[in-house]
Amino acid sequence: MPKDTKYVAKQPDENGFIAYSDAENAVWRDLVAQQQPSVNALAARAFLEGQKKLNLPTDRVPQCVEVSQVLTDLTGWKVEPVPALIGFSRFFKMLSECTFPAASFIRDRESFDYIEEPDIFHEIYGHTPLLTDARFAKFSQFIGKTGLVCDKADYAWLIRLYWFTVEFGLIKEGETIKALGSGLASSPSELGHAIHEPSVVRKPFDVIDILRTPYRIDINQPIYFVLESVDQLLETCQRDLLADIANARSLGLHAPTYPEKTNVSE
């Protein structure tokens, strides 16, 4: 996540509602119209089924309280608006409490096709469909609970497991690979890249391998991990992730398969 952002968090009223402008609602409408055909074609069944359960509005930004009502009935989760940038400790704590943190702003037209920080389109359109499924809800809470007990120095190791599954995971459906991750579902460019790009490396799901794989947040990923089934995530919830992180640390990170980011000073 970038260290600073041009966006300002929008504050909910006493009833939890946020006043979005007509222009902001139009951005949501146009993002959904652009993204949904690709999602219909390339997203995993679990994601598409979650979309149907949520029945999100297509013509305006959904309200967190509305989404929470559906999620609470289905899996006991809720969505809470937060600033764009929160630390890992708060993020893990919220997940452990079955609360998904949703950045309350929506991108502007200038950043329509790509935004580095998560906005409410990524959070609601991308993340909440999987949280209607008890299996993904359980896995997300497990990541949060693990984050509460691991050392801060291990946060970067733990978040890789979330990144390569909930955010950018792939899954097999028969002989076809489908997009599972929320970052893929909400990305106009990376969804097709993850499924069709010949240069992409699609590796079998393996916890230790994932923990050792570095990534950049500002590029289309060169590596994805493919689940054979959601059962692999449930099996992960039975693992001692602290021991896995220690094991991964002892083995060390894999060499990056992407160029290092260049910081240009003004």
122 is in an annotated binding site: yes
Q: How far is CA 263 from CA 43, 61, 222, in A?
A: 34, 34, 21
Q: In 3D, which of 86, 33, 75, 76 has the Cα closest to residue 56?
A: 33
Instruction: Report strand pairing: 170-173 vs 99-103.
Output: unpaired
Strands, DSSP E only, in 77-137?
78-82, 99-103
Which residues are 141's β-sheet partners?
Answer: none
Give whole-number Cα distances, 205 to 18, 111, 141, in Å: 39, 32, 20
Please tell me whether 167 is known to bind a ligand: yes
Say how far apart CA 79 and CA 63 lie, in whole Å: 9
d(CA 47, CA 135): 12
Q: What is the CA radius of gyration of the chain?
A: 18
Q: Tell me which amino acid residue 221 is.
A: Q
Q: What are phi and psi of 170, to 5 degrees?
A: -120, 160
Question: How far from 212 is each of 21, 26, 209, CA to CA, in Å?
Answer: 43, 41, 5
Q: Annotated binding site for Fe cation, which residues? A: 122, 127, 167
Q: Annotated binding site, which residues? A: 122, 127, 167
